[in-house]
Structure 1
């Protein structure tokens, strides 16, 4: 299906012209044009990083020295990382990113391109500004990443929520909503793998259904996928086959994909990749030219140097694994162990009568949902409606968690439709030490029992 890319652009995007300060200078010219500092003015001539080595199963460190030829920052990686650079990203890091996209997400059409950006939140902002005007509509799951909602609000972009089940967004309800809307939404925003906050991973069949609905109504898909490489091993310990991304399934050029280095390497790098059809990338690039230019050059240099060092690593057993793929395998086992510790602790310490929880196959979050049948509205006689009761109860449980020295994220922070009769909490097994995950589960169980006892005079 061929789509008219230009019809999706915002007024702001259509008004943007290429900056004259980005015009290329012909090779061989003596440049009196660009205000580039001379490399002699850069006080940094090289970098050194200590990194975990694949040969040691990432238990031991080695040191990598990063310098240009002959130790002089005249041309090459160090100089390029410290100088003003192409708004698409540094040439060396772009080579790694392109191969990464080809290896995992290469789509069915050829006219695609990508940008290195300053983290997934900045990528989301760039997309909203490039495609949405005030008053435009976007779709997303009824439970979604709060920063997306918070980014839409000041831009006056309306969010229409769609219900989800254990496999993700409901394509039938999405289709029904799109048929009823008098104004076509610009896109559907998805966190399809290791969903934040619900922890589900959308299977291939569901993605194909959702893609067909978006084709039918000619809307875009924004695929925010920071947890793609955190797909946990199977129960028998074998690697789970990676799910296909929306971008890999894309035949029309309607998917904009956001990859992030925050969860698979380090959040402080503030680096992400935005991949889409070339027309969309060219228009986001115009926004970059007058805003961030690209992600930090030194961050790109450190990431590239580490990943390039890992990529050059080969195993003695002759397999085609690289240090990067080994790191991902190591990371997946790490999160699987933590998930299992927390779930086992929940099973031993938290009442299944009062709440339920899922067992995510990807990412770092599980969803704990309160059983409202065990927490009936005791303030109905005072005029409190059921949706208000859900907010009240969630606040009460949250405060009791804090009193018991354990913190979870409130479900209503992630809800687009605040009137839904749901009470839940997002729990992460990513950060706390393993022994403290068990302590946290004990405190969650104690807190829930306290709330129930105080409300109804009965213990569970």
Structure 2
């Protein structure tokens, strides 16, 4: 399904009329693969997303070039000479005494077997009773049982990741986002945290500023501090970062007062933002993108919660809205990504399996123009190398060989419904147990977090304790009552700024329903005790 057109967004590349074929769909993947022939990709196979895109991509204009934004370190990185030898391994009859690849004979794993859910039977009980046993052997490729085996997965690989998993995430990216320019690429990573750390090193220098939401993912902020990089927090509302405040901040940037040049990196979690749970509407994303075009920003679109978009909240007594009835309806229901409206190639998307499959897999990927992905891969090759081969194998067996793209979308629809139930239980408890004259909130539309605002000015010691003092008192009272939430000020992008509002972050990700309700009940007791309410 094609993404919505980039309405009101300025096209800055050559967009002369071209014939564009249909973009890739779930049903179109088998046809495309059949035309391409069997995937042949052995140990450390050189690979690229260009091998796996549909023909429609070649008719799109190219991205702008953002190499001038790279740090000196990133711009100077070249391909490791030893990695270059790998491209000759596919030559028929070659006898290699060159690369230091261990022999698979000494990998002490003959096979692995995993049990995974059948499509449409995703619960733990259904998986126990009717799950599919999936087998991966050491020499499945030679024995013509699979295109991926342990002799490949457990050996060294290219910085792009295995061709087998790169094919899957490339197809998935095109199905969901269909980037509007031709030279986009994917590269696997060791999860989004590693991706972000590497991108910071590629684009920001000591003394620079990075733009972000005023309340931001704590790890994303903590990664910057030791690098000597500061953060300029942009005001937020219930939809996340406010485009007008971003515009005002950049228009009025004073290099003398700030001690730094105007920033050009904007870090965002647009969907189910951590910690606020805010989700940007499509209109808001277009507004932010227009500001990015005007000020030549690079956007780091960090989207671990993108597929945890939930059904609309109906209220405590209303039935839950029905889930999407088809793959097409599900994709259409997703708020379009920044990547899907990126006519320039200024968006670097960070994707991950952490929140939708398992965080311990440590497999994610980035999507960006080829010249950015190339430098990302160069850094991978001398640091993390690539995502775990064992993890890639397990994900390949699940996502590619067992579920396919359609089955994966069915799984995403399933967890959409399950997270909607969890959110609703927490919200129902908030409506039942929290004092409405003190506590307020916006029902989260995605993610794992609920952002509760407390009217601290009604606190009997508001004039003497201030926000941080009252926040600390409430935290201590919560702990005394046997419940734990995270104070909102812990997520401030600019730690030196005194907060003017008081928030608490709750999560509905994993606690059982009855425990969530009991926790919110205890929170209500703690708030009443702190505010002196009866």
The two structures have a TM-score, normalised by structure 1, of: 0.92
- Answer whether contact 1:192 1:225 (CA < 8 A) is retained: yes
- Evaluate the alpha carbon distance shift between residue 74 and residue 442 of structure 1 in structure 2; reply closer, same or farther with a 3 A threshold: closer
Q: Does 1:407 align with 2:484?
A: yes
Q: Give the SS at the match of 2:483.
A: coil
Alignment of 1:40 with 2:117, yes or no, is no
CA distance in 1, matches of 2:443, 2:252: 35
Unaligned runs of 5+ residues in structure 2 are 1-11, 14-63, 256-260, 315-320, 325-329
Paired residue for 1:208? 286
In structure 2, the residue matched to 1:422 is 501
Secondary structure of the equivalent of 2:223? helix
Indicate yes or no: 2:191 matched with 1:106: no
Contact 1:353-1:374 at 8 Å conserved across structures: no
Counterpart for residue 341 of structure 1: 425
Contact 1:141 1:190 in 2 (8 A): yes
- Secondary structure (helix, strand or coil) at the match of 2:272 reads coil
SS in 1 for 2:410: helix
Is 2:467–2:501's contact at 8 Å kept on the other side of the alignment? yes
Separation in 2 of the partners of 1:74 and 1:326?
Answer: 24
Specify the SS of the correspondent of 1:23. helix
- 1:253 matched residue in structure 2: 345
3-state SS of 2:85 partner: coil
Match of 1:180 in 2: 252
Q: Is the 8 A contact 2:113 2:135 kept in 1?
A: yes
Match for residue 473 of structure 2? Answer: 396
TM-aligned CA deviation for residue 149 of structure 1: 0.4
Aligned positions of 1:344-363 closer than 5 A: 344-363=428-447
Tell me whether 425-434 or 66-75 shows the greater mean CA deviation. 66-75
- In 1, the alpha carbon distance for the partners of 2:402 and 2:175 equals 16
Moved more, 189-198 or 61-70: 61-70
Partner of 2:336: 244
**Counterpart Cα distance in 2 of 1:269 and 1:372:** 41
- Kindly state the Cα deviation for residue 43 of structure 1 after the two structures are TM-superposed: 1.1
Tell me the CA shift for residue 69 of structure 1.
4.4
Query: How far 1:77 sits from its partner (Å)?
Result: 2.6
Per the alignment, residue 116 of structure 2 pairs with 51
Please tell me whether the aligned partners of residues 45 and 72 of structure 1 are also in contact (alpha carbons under 8 angstroms): no
Structure 1 CA distance for aligned equivalents of residues 428 and 473 of structure 2: 25
Cross-structure match for 1:19: 80
Counterparts of 2:262 and 2:279 in 1: how far apart (Å)?
Answer: 27
Between the aligned partners of 1:34 and 1:171, the Cα distance in structure 2 is 51
The alpha-carbon deviation at position 378 of structure 1 amounts to 4.5
Superposition pairs for residues 34-433 of structure 1, below 5 Å? 34-58=99-123, 59-60=126-127, 61-67=131-137, 68-69=140-141, 76-181=148-253, 182=255, 183-234=261-312, 235=314, 236-239=321-324, 241-312=333-404, 322-375=406-459, 377-378=461-462, 380=464, 389-417=466-494, 418-433=497-512
In structure 2, C-alpha distance between the alignment counterparts of 1:57 and 1:257, rounded to whole Å: 28
1:222-266 deviation line (CA, Å, top 9, x unaligned): 000011111112442243611110011100010000011011110
Aligned to 1:441: 520
SS in 2 for 1:109: coil
**Number of equivalences:** 440
- CA distance in 1 between counterparts of 2:169 and 2:528 reads 49
Q: Is the 8 A contact 1:18 1:286 kept in 2?
A: yes
Check whether the contact 1:184–1:219 (CA below 8 A) recurs between aligned residues.
no
SS in 1 for 2:504: strand
In 1: Cα distance, 2:282 partner to 2:146 partner: 48
Aligned 8 A contact 1:310 1:324 in 2: no
Task: Give per-residue Cα distances to partners, 1:25-56, cap 9 Å, x unaligned.
Answer: 52243222111111111111221111122243
- Supply the distance in 1 between the matched residues of 2:299 and 2:383 (Cα, whole angstroms): 24
> Hey, what's the Cα distance between the residues in 2 that align with 1:74 and 1:350?
55
Contact preservation (8 Å) 1:224, 1:257:
yes
For the 8 Å contact 1:73–1:79, the answer to whether it is kept is no
The CA deviation at 1:71 is: 6.6
Change in Cα spacing, 1:74 to 1:170, as seen in structure 2 (3 Å) is: closer
Specify the SS of the correspondent of 1:341.
Answer: helix
Question: Aligned partners of 1:55, 1:201: CA distance in 2, in Å?
Answer: 28
Give the TM-score of the pair, scaled to structure 2. Answer: 0.79
- 1:329 CA displacement: 1.2
Change (3 A) 1:72 1:309: closer
Distance 2:167 2:378 in 1: 21
Rounded Cα–Cα distance in structure 2 between residues aligned with 1:17 and 1:108 = 28
The Cα RMSD (Å) is 1.9
Q: Shift of residue 309 of structure 1? A: 3.7
Check conservation: 2:185, 2:373, Cα contact below 8 A. yes
Aligned mates of 1:340, 1:202 — CA distance in 2: 20
CA distance in 2, matches of 1:224, 1:396: 33
Distance 1:128 1:55 in 2: 40
